[in-house]
Every structure is written in structure tokens, then in C-alpha cells.
A and B are shown apart, each in its own frame.
Chain A
Amino acid sequence: MTQKLVVIGAGMASGRMLEHLFEAAPAAFDVTLYGAEPRGNYNRIMLSPVLAGEKTYDEIVTHNADWYAANGVDCRFGETVTKIDRKAKTVSSAEGEMSYDKLVIATGSAPFIIPVAGKDLPGVMAFRDLDDVNAMTAAAGSPGAKAVVIGGGLLGLEAAAALRSRGMEVVVLHLMGHLMERQLDPAAGYLLQKELEGRGIKIHCKAQTKAILGENRAEAVLLEDGTIYPADLVVMAVGIRPETRIAVDSGLYVERGIVINDQMVTSDPDILSVGECVEHENVCYGLVAPLYDMAKVAAKTLVKQDAAFRPVETATQLKVTGVNLYSAGDFAEAEDREEIVLRDASAGIYKRLVLKENRILGAVLYGETTDGSWFFDMLKKGTDVAEMRDTLIFGQAYQGGGQLDPMAAVAALSDDAEICGCNGVCKGKIVGTITEKGLTSLDDVRAHTKASNSCGTCTGLVEQLMALTLGDTYNPAAVQPMCGCTDLGHDDVRRLIKAKGLKTIPAVMQELEWKTSCGCAKCRPALNYYLVADWPDEYADDYQSRFINERVHANIQKDGTYSVVPRMWGGVTSSTELRAIADVVDKFNIRTVKVTGGQRIDMLGIKKEDLPAVWEDLGKAGFVSGHAYAKGLRTVKTCVGSDWCRFGTQDSTGLGIRIEKFMWGSWTPAKVKMAVSGCPRNCAEATCKDVGVICVDSGYEIHFAGAAGLDIKGTEKLGLVKTEDEALEVIVALTQMYREQGHYLERIYKWAKRIGYDEVRRQILENKEKRNAYYDRFVFSQKFAQVDPWSERVSGKDKHEFKPMAELGFPQAAE
């Protein structure tokens, strides 16, 4: 006989339960389904992508009208059940009564609204259902709108990221010390915070909300510490509480949630409950996996099959595009636990496994989460990992004893493994685009996928993917043309400029058969540099072939303003200089003044029109351009040396200043940063510079080819010289050799590696004649290069650069 089943709540748990029920016994029950929302069941955990605009509501609907009709479900959506009469076995809503044989309560949870003043103002909302999403989307529509999200857990961060991607200014307030403290340890929480901050989301941890301010609607959030964040929208995402009101009213046994046994039956044998509203063995659940387990058990109980709900481990993944984060199990530290940690800060990877007696208890993965399910599987099964312990943290691809072949590792990556972190490009996209568009060169892949197009740290991986996809047809050894305008590489172009005596850009393009009429933004600056370096007295610098920074002698910033860095020789300054800088800062209302890594002072946020006036004032105090924008000599960092330091062996400050005064103004293939340390303690950090000097008792150790940027590399030692004069001579000759041979934008460490460190030593240290020739050529070129570009422009050079051509006004439109 068909029984009458009433279900209160049309969410994910009850939806899944009905699926199981209709599968097991299609005709056993006559079902009435009440739902407070005016719509059927949809995948609530995908609301974040809907909010972010990455999915539509239709894409996340799990049960549509056809499904309910096909299964004969009497749907009462938008109808709230107000009362359960357990004696009469009926439920009531505004529309009337309905009797039941079995009742399932699946009322889910309600967002926790923190009890502060202003919580009821319009503009304050939770993030729980589609109506919330629609309201937030509408709020994000007005330009410059600001949102404050209270709660830095899973839900709050997804909301924050989604609102940010819709262009809102977003602040996240989090009560605890780090984000997602229930799922993440502090290290992963920190990485996540950095990532979100990088997207322009402000994160405020240990933030205690005091009140929401506003007259007729929310206008700002006030914290206990007095901080005020303006807000057009306040999203409360601090947590959920089981929605148990109707169960309490009907006299069911309720603690935090509706208490159920292993069969999902409440204190009334005819009433079951599933989902976020229940409490099982003192635990309430909020993640979807255990809710689905409950649904399965409840369906079986209804058709009188044996089943029991057992608490399960759950894994968490944050659904924010571009953030890879996975956590599972228990990762608290304890005495009998061990941990395995892998950190790769530059790649933004952090992995931590917590083990107890060779079994995985918990896993936190950040940045690289492809092995999450593998670890989780072993965690659930209690797999003994003793045998693979040594390589466990590297993941599944590295198991099985084989040597780590990088190609195999790349091949083993899943299609959604992220290759390029800067641009969020995954393996599948790269491989797919290579095949689809028939790409054969790294430049093509960069243009079409953006992978390896920003910081370039993933270039190796991208090349491996190309080799993997293209097989033998990929030939990275072929000479890379300078750009699409020519088939010649940098070496050929430099050689031919000298051999053919080419002295203008049009001459180079004509003689070397350029394919475009006037080049592109890649080849023109390179050619301009080669001509400046090779013909210092004859070539007229082509400013239109220089990047904006070198054209206006300042650094363009993201908002189109500029930053100005005057030279501070060897990092030494004076009260007069500092006073002059202070005056300029005040006069031009300069927003940010920043001490740079190269021991000088950066003034940021200067309007282009103001640059000449700023320079004029700085020039009066004796400042010249610091070339902080140049492919040229930047800084010579120093320590205080034998003048002050009790360990100093030589006058490192004096040598640094001497080098800087000798070499400033010279153009080089890429920027050149130097340093002089007064003793091997190396306070000036000379051993990661393009050229560095370590002073020792017996003289000066000259170092070169260091790097501390995209790559980190200690310097190579060039040799030891006895006197300051010799040190200067060697450094100048080395720089000139690089100026004559380097490819444009190729730093010294890359150039030196390409031609060989020994070759540099042979030409600069061992061959006195060559060294002198390099030195002389540098000195000659400095005659033309050592002109302060700032004072030139103060005197009127290039004045068109700094003024608009016209100002047009339309009074009727300007209001």
C-alpha cells in the first residue's frame, strides 16, 4: 500500500534522499515536498560561481519540474510549514493541512547573524540562497561599490572573491588569527591571504565587529578597535546554525540540531531528519559529503532496509577560480604525530601531511592540489604509507620507484593542473591550444594562452608540454628570432650591425630585410640599444623606440602616474638632500615616499605634467636622475666599510661611490645593479648582484652574474685584485664586454652563462690587452652618455612629452 511521505525542505540532502528513494522503491510513497524558497532543488555549493558570474542559475539546477512531475512529487515551493501535529500526524502551512505516514525534516540551516547594532539595516545580508546572490549581484552593479564580508571562512572568502571579480572593493573581516582556521593551518592561511590580497581584497584578521553603521541602509562597518570600513553591502558569512524551530515547537528532542540515531530517525519513530539541521553523536555537519551519506541512509530506512550513518572524514576545497586549496582530516599538532612538509615559496606551493603511526591523519595542500584525492583516499582507508614515506609528499606521479623524469611528471599532470600561476592557465588549455591552432613556438603559445607570458617562471614547464605535445617537431634549439619582424636572432643582428656598419634603425631594417615597415615594440628598443652601444658618437638616440620609462626618465605606475628616484651615490645622503626631498614631497603633494632596495628614495604617484618641475627642484639640490627606470646602471649598494665598521677591511662606501660616479648614465642590455661589501660578512649583499665586490684584507674580490629576482643565483667569482684602481678597471671592462655582447633584456647572469664564465675570466682578467680595450671603449661612450636627462628636460628638451596637446571643454557635458 502506498504510504504518504511529507518532506519539509527542498535542499540538497532531501533531493538526494528522494533520488535514492525513487530508485529503491518507485511506488512505495506518495510524496509531498515543501520548500521555503520559491524554486526546486539546486546545487547550493555552486552559488559562489554563480555569484562570480562564471555559471548561471540554470546550470546548477539539480532537479527540474520534469523530474518532480515524472516522480509524482506534489511540490509546494514557496510554502513554509508552520506546524507539525505529531498526534494527528499532520503538517500545516498557510495553505492548509496535510497528513503523513512518514515525515522527513530537512530544513537545513540558517545563516548566523551576529547580534550587533545595525544588523537589520537594508544592505546587510547573508550568503545562503539564490535570492542573496541576486541581491549581491545587483549591489555589485553600481560602479565603485564597496562590500564588507564578515567571516573569513569558506563561504565568506568565496563571496569576497566573487564580489571582487565583479569589480567591488572588498574587505574581509575575520575574527580569528588566520583565514579558514577550521580547514587550514596558519601557513596555508597565510598563503591564501597573500593570494587574495594580490587580487585587491583587503583582509583584516582578528577583527571584532562592533556595529553596522548607517541611517536608512548600511553605510559602514565599525570594529571594536575603532576601524571603520565604508560599505554599500555587508555580507554576513560567519557560520550557520541548524534550523530546528519547527522540530522544537513540535516537542522533538533537539540539542544544537535535531537529534537522530544512526538510521536518521528522530525521537519520534515516524519522523526522520537529514541535512544540516541534524545532530548525530554531538556533531552537526555543514559539508555536502556527509549530507549525501545521510540521504542514502534515510532512503533505506524509509523502505525498511538496514543502513547506518557513520561519521566520515570530509575534505574541503575552496571554489575560488585560480586558488588551489585542499584540506582534509585532522592536522593539529600533537606529540605522537609526525608531519611531512613541502614548501616552494616562489611557486606558491605548500603541502603538509600529518601522520600517526605511518597513517595519514590530515592533509593541507595549497597551490598544487592534484594529489588531494589520492591523499584523502589513503586517509579514509587508513593505508600504511611506510614504504612510500620518502616520496609521499611529491604525490602519486612519483610513486612506483621510477626515477623522477621531468617529462613523465609533466605527462602525469592532470588536464586541470595549473601551469601558469600568473595567468591561471592549466595544462589542458595549453595542450588543447597547441593542437587546435597548430602552434610550434613558445611565442605562439604565449600569445594564444598567456601561459609563461608574465613572470616566465613556468617557461620550462610550458616547453616540456610543447615537447610532449609536438614530439620531434618541436625544436627549441633553433635560433629564436628577435621578434616577428625578422628571422634573425639577436646575435646575428648585433654581428651584422657591426660588420655592415649599420648606423640607423631604418638602415638596419632595410639591410637586414625586416618584414615590417617600422618594426614592433620588441625589436625597436633592442635595435636602438644596439646602435647606442655600438656607435656612441655617431648614433642619434631614437626616443620613439624607447619604452616610456626611458623616454620620460621616470617609472610608469599602474595608474599612469610616475615615480621618481634621484641618485644617492653609494646610498649615502645628507640633511640638505633629505630636506630637499621633503620639500618636493610637500610641494607636489606626493602620496608615497618609499625607501628602495637599492638604498635610495622613491617618490611615487607623480603626474606626468609635474615631472619637469619636480626635477627642477631636485636638481637645485644637486640631485641627478637615479636611472631607476633604465636598462642601464641602477644602484651601487654599499656598507659603511672601514670608515665606521669594526670589521671593515676597505673603504667600501668610497669604492661604491667611485664606481657609481664613473659608470652612471651608461646604457646596458638590461638593468645592472652592483654592490660593494666591506668584508665577507657581506652586509651590502654583493653576492646576488650583477656585479659585486667583497673587500678583504688582501684586496678586492670581484663577483659577477648573480641574480635575486625571478631567479635566485649566487654570484660567480671573477678574481681577486689588489687595488681599488684595478677593481674599477675590471668592473668597467666586464660591463663593457656585456654591453657589446648581451642580448637586449638579457641580464648579466644569463649572458655569462650563455658565453661561459671562463670566457669572461679569460678576456677580462687574464688578457690585459682586451681588458684595456674594453675599458677604453666604455670611457669613450661615457663622454656621450653621462648627461643628466632630468636637467636636459628642465631646460626644455622634449617638452611636448609633458603637456597635453589640447584641452577641450564642453560646458554642457562637463557637469
Chain B
Amino acid sequence: MSDWIEIGKLDDIPPRGARCVNTPMGRIAVFRTGTDEVYAIEDRCPHQGGPLSQGIVHGAQVTCPLHNWVFSLETGLAQGADEGAVRTFALKSDGERILMDASMMMAVAAE
């Protein structure tokens, strides 16, 4: 069951940038690519906990600001030779509004 909650507007996020959403389960990074797609992943690099929201966004990827691991925003998988993954969260757009599926966060919390 999905539970869509508004987290903000597209214009709140700079193109090729990110903003954070604080949740009881930790920070989630919400990205906007150069072509205005939006993605949400957990804001924590599996390597050493770097805040991925602070990284450089290129295509549908982000480079961690601490040690340059690169992650796909679509799949959450580490790119290149690094191995690892971050959790991804479903988003949908309703006009300018960005909605996040809160039920997924609940699923995380229940684990």
C-alpha cells in the first residue's frame, strides 16, 4: 500500500543538485538531474557514511563527497569497480509537487 506525502516542489532543488529530507529513519537525499528527473536515495554512502546529497550530480549519478564512490540514482548501485548499494525510495511528480512513498519508509523502520 502506498502512502504518498508531499516533500516539496521541483524548484526547491537546484538542477544537478540535491536537497535533504529528514525522517525518523535518517536522512534521505532527493536529487534533481540536469534533465529534471527526481530521485531519492538514502543519504549515506555504504563505504564510510558520506552524505551523498552533498556530492556532485552528473547524469543520473552522484559522486560521494568523501571518497568519490559513484552511485546510480536509479538503482542505488555503486558504479565502476566499487561494490555496494544504497536504498532507493520511490518518488512521483504531481505537477510541480514531488511526492514520496512514505510506506516504504515505514517498511524500513519496521525491519
Contact = CB atoms under 8 A, between A and B. Distances in A.
Interface of A: 447-448, 516-521, 524-525, 543-548, 551-552, 556, 558-560, 800, 804-810, 813-814
Contact of A808 (B12, B21, B58): B21
B56 A545 contact: yes
A559 B51 CA distance: 8
Contacts of B19: 800, 804-805
Given A556-B65, A810-B109, A518 B21 contact: no
B56 A521 contact: yes
A813 B19 CA distance: 23
A519 B13 CA distance: 20
A519 B50 CA distance: 21
B109 A556 contact: no
Contacts of B100: 808
Contacts of A544: 14-17, 56-57
A551 B51 CA distance: 14
B95 interface: no
Contacts of B5: 808
B24 A813 contact: yes
Nearest to A516: B59
Contacts of B8: 805-806
Contacts of A804: 19-22, 27
B16 A560 contact: no
18 contacts: A517-B34, A519-B58, A521-B55, A521-B63, A547-B65, A548-B54, A548-B55, A556-B51, A556-B65, A558-B48, A804-B19, A805-B13, A806-B6, A806-B7, A808-B23, A808-B24, A810-B23, A813-B106
A518 B68 contact: no
Contacts of A518: 16, 34, 58-59
A317 B56 CA distance: 44
Contacts of A517: 34-35, 59
Contacts of A521: 55-56, 58, 63, 68, 70
B89 to A, nearest CB: 11
Contact of A805 (B7, B50, B66, B109): B7
Contacts of B56: 520-521, 524-525, 544-547
Contacts of A813: 24-25, 106, 109-110
B34 A805 contact: no
B65 A810 contact: no
A560 B58 contact: no
Contacts of B50: 560
Contacts of B49: 558-560
* Interface class of chain A by DSSP: loop
B102 interface: yes
A551 B55 CA distance: 10
Nearest to A543: B14
Given A544-B57, A808-B105, 4 more contacts: A545-B16, A551-B54, A558-B66, A808-B7
B22 A808 contact: yes
Contacts of B17: 544
Given A518-B34, A560-B50, A800-B12, A805 B21 contact: yes
A516 B63 CA distance: 15
A785 B55 CA distance: 24
Interface string B52-87: 001111110101011010100000000011000000
B9 to A, nearest CB: 9
A521 B23 CA distance: 28
B54 A556 contact: yes
Nearest to A519: B58
Nearest to B5: A808
B35 to A, nearest CB: 8
B81 A448 contact: yes
B5 to A, nearest CB: 7
Contacts of B35: 517
Contacts of B25: 813
B41 interface: no
A447 B30 CA distance: 27
Contacts of B80: 447
Contact of B14 (A559, A800, A808): A800
A805 B8 CA distance: 7
Given A544-B15, A544-B56, A807 B22 contact: yes
Interface centre among A525, A559, A807, A813, by most chain B C-beta atoms within 10 angstroms, is A813
A809 B102 CA distance: 10
Contact of A806 (B21, B34, B61): B21
A447 B34 CA distance: 26
A800 B54 CA distance: 12
Given A544-B17, A556-B65, A560-B51, A806 B22 contact: yes
Contacts of B55: 521, 548
